[in-house]
Structure 1
Amino acid sequence: MGVGGRCVWVEACALPVLLWFLHCSVCLLQMFWILLSDGESIGNCPFSQRLFMILWLKGVIFNVTTVDLKRKPADLQALAPGVNPPFVTFNGEVKVDVNKIEEFLEEKLTPPRYPRLAPRHPEANSAGIDVFAKFSAYVKNHRKDTNQALVKSLRRLDDFLRTPLPDEIDGDATGDLPESTRSFLDGSELSLADCNLLPKLHILKFRFTEWGTHIPAEMTGLWRYLNSAYKREEFTNTCPADREIEFAYLDVAKRIK
């Protein structure tokens, strides 16, 4: 697995970690990512997927290899003691905060060589910001109030996706504003905001289906968004295997049954 360069896979046991070698003109960046189960499939970690999508969209060259976390090398333990992936190193400095890593990548990988991924519309950054928190609350306690809170959060996201952005509005038009037709939060292309939200929505959508629940069909903006995302390889090729999501929520599934 990789983008723009050769990928090298090294066989590993369970609970490996990914070393991502990002080759830039001025630096060597390493990203570490925990995988699960078979040592090959992408693990259920929306934060790791977020960073993977950013690297893919930036179009950088990087290689991927795996290291058995049960036999974690001493130098890796010394690098970030007590820290779980994802994290990166740059010029010997360890960066462990996902938001800071995102800022770093956007700051260092700039046009014209690399595309700008920051949203043009600031409101895109906060769209759906509480959806996963509401989903997690519902997962922990399947009550009517937690379900209502989750649905309310999804409706707010749907409303945002159905409302046209300023550059979609014809200043000379009269009457009611038409519904937005954009594919993603910030427009027709994926942005940093999508890299943050989509991995979480994928988990939510998958778990809903497994639990016999579905995102309401009338949320047309949200469904347009998801359908657009599943057409993009930067998203689909970085999603975790279904069995990894099933494993992560196994206890919840048993409680529901």
Structure 2
Amino acid sequence: LTDTHNHYHRDNELKTSCDGESIGNCPFSQRLFMILWLKGVVFNVTTVDLKRKPADLHNLAPGTHPPFLTFNGEVKTDINKIEEFLEEVLAPPKYPKLAAKHRESNTAGIDIFAKFSAYIKNTRPDANGALEKSLTKALKKLDEYLNSPLPEEIDADSMEEEKSSNRSFLDGNELTLADCNLLPKLHIVKVSYMATLVNNGYVSCTYTGFKCSAF
């Protein structure tokens, strides 16, 4: 990331897919890509095949994997620190603020990917049932949050109870950092695990919140 008269330019190193060229399914790389795209920054994407990692990459960030960021000679490898840095440097009025307004949006679905990983990597058939139950419980909790109206969707003067939310994304009708964190992970879950549930109509009738634009 370089600052040329306050016009930021970003060289982004991302993991490749199995063909060694196109962007891979690393949720952390995709998270960073989404943030930069939403910020409206002009940036280049350089995919890195970890099996044939260039020598200069070894020298730049030894022992680490993309994505990472360099700024004024300092290398940032922690994805959360990179996110905080971009939100601080690429700030209003020139760049949009992406932080969620509601704290609950940042933690919605936070445990889904870990539970999915435990389920998908499990080698014990006798544990499948409990792990799948744990995963579906986490998905249901996210679905409930998506369906629950945010404070600004509730009419304080209305006598009728607000039954469901009409928002498009986790924190409202605009994408936020919360979506950038969750969506890449949820996409992997959807492709790898939920495909069979989608095909048999289970998701559409059970997880109604997943009909919102973000999902």
| 8 Å Cα contact 2:12-2:44 kept in structure 1 | no
Match of 1:84 among 65, 72, 89: 65
The 5 A counterparts of 1:149-160 are 149-160=134-145
Match of 1:48 among 29, 54, 60: 29
1:224 to 2:174 alignment: no
2 CA distance for matches of 1:45 and 1:73? Answer: 19
1:170 to 2:155 alignment: yes
| 8 Å Cα contact 2:13-2:45 kept in structure 1 | no
Measured against aligned partners, the alpha-carbon deviations of 1:199-239 in whole angstroms (never above 9, x if no partner) come to 111111111255x3335222111x223xx136xxxxxxxxx
TM-score by length of 1: 0.74
Tell me how far 1:23 sits from its aligned partner. 5.9
1 CA distance for matches of 2:53 and 2:115? Answer: 35
Measured against aligned partners, the alpha-carbon deviations of 1:35-72 in whole angstroms (never above 9, x if no partner) come to 02223322010010000000000000112345665554
Measured against aligned partners, the alpha-carbon deviations of 1:83-131 in whole angstroms (never above 9, x if no partner) come to 1111110111000000000000000001111100000111100000001
The 5 A counterparts of 1:27-38 are 29-38=10-19
The SS at the match of 1:177 is: coil
Tell me how far 1:25 sits from its aligned partner. 3.6
2 CA distance for matches of 1:61 and 1:163? Answer: 36
- Given residue 184 of structure 1, which amino acid in structure 2 is its aligned partner? F
Identity %: 60
| 8 Å Cα contact 1:46-1:200 kept in structure 2 | yes
Match for residue 136 of structure 1? 117
1 CA distance for matches of 2:21 and 2:49? Answer: 11
Q: Assess, with a 3 A threshold, how the Cα gap between structure 1 residues 209 and 107 changes in structure 2: closer, same or farther.
A: same
Tell me how far 1:24 sits from its aligned partner. 5.4
1 CA distance for matches of 2:52 and 2:115? Answer: 37
| 8 Å Cα contact 2:12-2:45 kept in structure 1 | no
Q: Assess, with a 3 A threshold, how the Cα gap between structure 1 residues 50 and 22 changes in structure 2: closer, same or farther.
A: farther
The 5 A counterparts of 1:1-257 are 25-26=5-6, 29-66=10-47, 72-141=53-122, 143-209=128-194, 212-214=196-198, 216-217=203-204, 218-221=206-209, 223-225=210-212, 228-229=213-214
1 CA distance for matches of 2:141 and 2:17? Answer: 33
Q: Which stretch of the first structure deviates more once superposed, 47-56 or 74-83?
A: 74-83
TM-score by length of 2: 0.87
2 CA distance for matches of 1:67 and 1:50? Answer: 16
Measured against aligned partners, the alpha-carbon deviations of 1:132-156 in whole angstroms (never above 9, x if no partner) come to 1111111122611111101110111
Across the aligned residues of Structure 1 and Structure 2, the Cα RMSD in angstroms comes to 2.1
1 CA distance for matches of 2:132 and 2:160? Answer: 36
Q: Assess, with a 3 A threshold, how the Cα gap between structure 1 residues 132 and 69 changes in structure 2: closer, same or farther.
A: closer
The SS at the match of 1:128 is: coil
The SS at the match of 2:197 is: coil
